[in-house]
Amino acid sequence: MGTPVPPSESAREGYVRRMVAAHRPGGPLAGAFYTSADIFREDLARLWSRHWLYAGHSCQIPRPGDWFTYAIGADSVIVLRDERGEVRAFHNTCRHRGSRVCPGEAGSGRRLTCPYHAWSYGLDGRLLMDSKADFGLDRSELSLHPVKARNVAGLLFIALSDDPVPFEHAFADIERKLRPHGLERAKLAHKIDYAVKANWKLIFENNRECYHCAPNHPEYVKATYDVARDDAHHDPKRVAEVDRLVDEANARFRALGLDEGDALSAMTDEHWRCRRAPLMKGFTTQSLDGKPVAPLMGDFKERDAGTLRITIFPNFWQHANDDYACSTRLTPVGPAETHVRVAWYVDGEAVEGKDYTLDRLLPVWQRTSEQDWDICQWNQQGVSSSRYVPGRYSLTREQNVAHFVDWYLREIAR
């Protein structure tokens, strides 16, 4: 879109700098940010490579030797459970001639064997054969390249960079608040993969406001205060009502030994949040009728723990209720395409058909997600128009979108 992109590295650098400088704060990005292959490449190189990314869930690899792969751009990462039960990750590229070692999505075995010439690696990434005589290099020099990995109360994160953005404080906060939900003892009840024809930023921008909720999410708005909170800006009576309900919910959370929360959608910190939110009166979980859809998870003995919202730029959000959690993972595929995986987790002992059914578990987040993907795809089509001009954000309903865009521009300008 617009300015032609020169090919050299320094010219590209100049192009990005000019694009960032031309941004008018308080409104959406210029079209090129959502459509240009060059900007997309810079997004991956400058931002996705440096940030912690949600890869999957610990229940995908319950036993030593279990692995799954996660691809971001040209990189593929093997996430596995090693002999000691720890989660580790490695670049999925063989130290011989570079083939993918694990070409599939998931598997299990005590060793990782490259399909090309059958070099085998242990679960610690070390080459298992003696390479000195035939290849002139000691096998210690031919281990798989490690990738930083963290298991945070059942959520598995990786970082492609050896020196990622510091995130220990966030992991500690998430670990503490998520632990009672028992996600480490959960099982995957269902997952749906979507190929959404929209830039990853449009999808995250959409996530950062609930201005669109009333016209688009009839199921979601019944359970949560996001829209009520928005309306409260215009109706002082509603402010008092929402504040009172939040106070009541917090008293209950305290009694349950949980962290307190509020009905705000702002970030806890610059690019992440982990905050409990009360559900509407009459709702103990995010279901169509407010009634439980699965057995209590983790340490919970009583219903009504609200919903623990975790949001991490650039690729993850999750709502953990007391009976199920629903996580969303974004993976950029191209300037106008993002792979999205939505996954539902329930207690590991719960039996489908007896303790829960998918027709009760899925609807709120399946419908809400699919409604969002429609919106995002229409947004992508619109910003690709030759007549697209960035508009303005609402000062009361879209300040979190402005916050996301400001964060993005700082990251891309680094």
CB of 115 to ligand FES, least distance (A): 8
* Separation of alpha carbons 217 and 105, rounded Å: 33
3-state class (DSSP) for residue 275 = strand
**HSE value, Cβ hemisphere, 13 Å, CA-based, for 94:** 18
Residue 117 binds to ligand FES (criterion: CB under 6 A): yes
Residue 372 contact, options ligand FES, Fe ion, none, Cβ 5-8 Å cut-off depending on partner type: Fe ion
User: First vs last Cα of the chain: how many Å apart?
Assistant: 23
190, 344 contact by CB (below 8 A): yes
Query: Looking at beta carbons only, is 191 or 367 nearer to Fe ion?
Result: 367
Residue 99 binds to ligand FES (criterion: CB under 6 A): yes
Token pair in block for residue 251: 């008293």
Residue 97 binds to ligand FES (criterion: CB under 6 A): yes
Going by DSSP bridges, is the β-strand pair 307-312/272-277 parallel, antiparallel, or unpaired? antiparallel
Query: Looking at beta carbons only, is 37 or 129 nearer to ligand FES?
Result: 129
Residue 259 binds to Fe ion (criterion: CB under 5 A): no
Amino acid at 80: L
* Separation of alpha carbons 67 and 88, rounded Å: 9
Q: Which of 19, 87, 94, 213 binds ligand FES (CB under 6 A)?
A: 94
* Separation of alpha carbons 340 and 240, rounded Å: 38
Query: Looking at beta carbons only, is 32 or 401 nearer to Fe ion?
Result: 401
3-state class (DSSP) for residue 247 = helix
Cis peptide before 4 (omega within 30 of 0): no
* Separation of alpha carbons 278 and 250, rounded Å: 8
Residue 173 contact, options Fe ion, ligand FES, none, Cβ 5-8 Å cut-off depending on partner type: none
Q: Which of 50, 116, 128, 165 binds ligand FES (CB under 6 A)?
A: 116
* Separation of alpha carbons 200 and 44, rounded Å: 11
CB of 375 to Fe ion, least distance (A): 7
Query: Looking at beta carbons only, is 93 or 151 nearer to ligand FES?
Result: 93
Question: Per-residue x/- mask for ligand FES, residues 53 to 92, rule CB under 6 A?
Answer: ----------------------------------------
Q: Which span sits near Fe ion by CB under 5 A: 142-150, 329-337, 366-374, 399-407? A: 366-374
Q: Which of 29, 61, 72, 114 binds ligand FES (CB under 6 A)?
A: 114
Q: Which span sits near Fe ion by CB under 5 A: 82-90, 122-130, 227-235, 370-378? A: 370-378
Residue 372 binds to Fe ion (criterion: CB under 5 A): yes
* Separation of alpha carbons 409 and 22, rounded Å: 11
Of 332, 361, 331, 334, nearest to 346 (Cα)? 361
Q: Rg for the chain (alpha carbons), in Å?
A: 23
Please work out the total of residues on this chain that contact ligand FES, with binding judged by CB under 6 A.
9
Q: Which span sits near ligand FES by CB under 6 A: 94-102, 131-139, 172-180, 205-213? A: 94-102
Residues contributing to the site for ligand FES (CB under 6 A): 94, 96-99, 114, 116-117, 119
